[in-house]
Structure 1
Amino acid sequence: MTVPFCDLPLAERIERAEARRIAAATETTRRRAGPAAFVRPVAGGVACYAEDGSPLNKVAGLGFGGLPGPQALSEVELAFAACGSPVQVELAHLVDPAIGALLTTRGYRLESFGNVLGRAPGDGPGRVVPPGIEVRASGDDEFGAWLGVALDGFTSPDTAGPPHEGFPRAVLERALRDLATPGLRRYVAVCDGVVAGAASMSVEDGLAQFTGAATLPAHRGRGIQTALLSARLADAAAAGCDLAVVTTAPASRSQRNAQSCGFGLLYTRAILVRPPHEDDRPKKHRQDVESGGARSMC
């Protein structure tokens, strides 16, 4: 099984695909929820805000268009602050280190990391099917079952590794619906006749992004995640993809499962967060607060 050497162009390819995925989902949110949601380009990446507490609220792909200028960052920070939201930047460690230094001077603080792992999908053994488990593609008629398992799995994370960042269930449900853009391939794992696992895969220009993998707590430890990984690897190879990638929390069971299927570490994303500052809010809003007439801007 081949793990490619990850240089800057390869990281850029992955990060731009991730930025497009998040932007597409946020645009879906904006059409559903109204103008509070936004997508803004910034330094080769995108700044996205969907709704309060959404996992889509982030800056993805930053730094592959050069060092962001102070004006560009200020505009992004103002847009998030107008919604009362912190700015979360997911910064690949391969970009110019000056970007991290710049963000630090602006009040961003390191909160966590995410590991991006990859491998060539067609290089290795075929599907792994543990006893009593069936993995199949999941169509629109089964979307409710897929969504329910994904929600239950995500809101009951494994206990190995760092703590999981929790999101309100209703907000997470809307985000998963908006991430289910046309072309997303969904999978379910059936264990003893029960839908016990769910996953998805996005294929674009030879890159397969493995997303949305979850297993119900009562069915963990039976190889469901390995089965879902191997099924997607087989489909990615059949689709002509040259690279499959998955993002995990460091030292998590998800990372262990991915590495057991031949994935290797490509690079790490640093998660940097800046809380909204009083000075970020538009002047008119600050005047409303001072006069006792504050109102929500989102």
Structure 2
Amino acid sequence: MNRSPFFCAVDLAERIERAEAQLMSAAAEAARLRRGDDIGFALPVAGGVATFAEDDSPFNKIAGLGFDGVPDAAALDDIERGFADRGAAVQAEVAHLADPAVGALLTDRGYRLTSFENVLGLALDDAYERGTPPGIDVRVCRDDEFDAWLDAVADGFAHPDEQGVPSHEEFPRQVLANAERDFAAAGVVHYIALRDGTVAGGGSLRVTDGVAQLTGAATAPAHRRRGVQTALLSTRLADAAAAGCDIAVVTTQPASKSQQNVQRRGFHLLYTRAILVKQVGPS
């Protein structure tokens, strides 16, 4: 099916970033409930959110800034103090379509550019066709399959394709396991891919306000180049379209194999996020 590229205006970027901020808030709350303590937080800030879940968690960040004014100094002071009290740096992910004053403010406060990530999108309709290569089966992961799902995904993440800008992040297996369980509690659905009956990879999907967030996918190295990623993507897109989503979004490393794969499936680059990090000491 031919799909025309679409223009990403600021209001679309705001909608996607709002969905990301909502996901981080829900995931941080899920982590708090799982742990049963008060180490985590989710602090609203200028239309975005600053979240901390636990040590080394992928949910420790500021997301969604730049679409509802510029954060004031007092709010950033509180956020930076919260991260410092937990021995963590502050990572802010800022879309290039956000208010440029945000980047200037963070730079003035000592944040340094560390990396970039690309946000790509695909317009959906309710006729998106599901397609899987022979021998590949993709379905929603059962609870008793989670460990096998995690093994395949962790194996895939541990052996990334050496193409494009490398990721600035790497997570221990237990941290990844906690994060994925928290994702599930936040409404993320896990999909398992089997190749000839063997677990070959996995992916995930969250639907909110008509936005389908493809929140990660990986294939174990032994099963690559067999259509597993194509099947995972196709199945999730078909389910998202059936759920009424009008857009699917995915985040990739710039010029990576993942970006190349989704662009081959019709995704278009919408915008880039700058990753700005500030090292903070105890207060």
TM-score, length-scaled by structure 1: 0.89
For the 8 Å contact 1:155–1:169, the answer to whether it is kept is no
1:109-157 CA distance string (max 9 Å, x none): 1111111100112388723322321222223232222222222222222
1:39-84 CA distance string (max 9 Å, x none): 1111111101111111111001012220111111111111101111
The count of aligned residue pairs is 279
> Where does residue 287 of structure 1 map in the other structure?
none
Q: Percent identity between the aligned chains?
A: 60
Amino acid in the other structure paired with 2:145: E
Matched, 1:227 2:249: no
How large is the RMSD of aligned CA atoms in angstroms? 1.6
Counterpart of 2:26 (choices 24, 27, 37) is: 24
> Where does residue 45 of structure 1 map in the other structure?
48
Task: Give 1:182 shift.
Answer: 5.5
Matched, 1:100 2:86: no
**The structure with more radius of gyration:** 1
Task: Give 1:172 shift.
Answer: 1.6
> Where does residue 36 of structure 1 map in the other structure?
39
For the 8 Å contact 1:122–1:233, the answer to whether it is kept is no
1:149-203 CA distance string (max 9 Å, x none): 2222222222222223211221121111111125422211111211101011111
For the 8 Å contact 1:150–1:212, the answer to whether it is kept is no
> Where does residue 195 of structure 1 map in the other structure?
199
Indicate the larger mover: 123-132 or 144-153. 123-132
> Where does residue 268 of structure 1 map in the other structure?
272
> Where does residue 17 of structure 2 map in the other structure?
15
Matched, 1:247 2:229: no
TM-score, length-scaled by structure 2: 0.94
For the 8 Å contact 1:92–1:267, the answer to whether it is kept is yes
Amino acid in the other structure paired with 1:158: D
SS of 1:180's partner is: helix
Alignment of 1:139-178 (within 5 A): 139-164=142-167, 165-178=169-182
For the 8 Å contact 1:110–1:273, the answer to whether it is kept is yes
Runs of at least 4 residues of structure 1 off by over 6 A? none
Rounded to whole Å, the distance in 2 between the matches of 1:32 and 1:187 is 22
Rounded to whole Å, the distance in 1 between the matches of 2:5 and 2:49 is 28
For the 8 Å contact 2:117–2:252, the answer to whether it is kept is yes
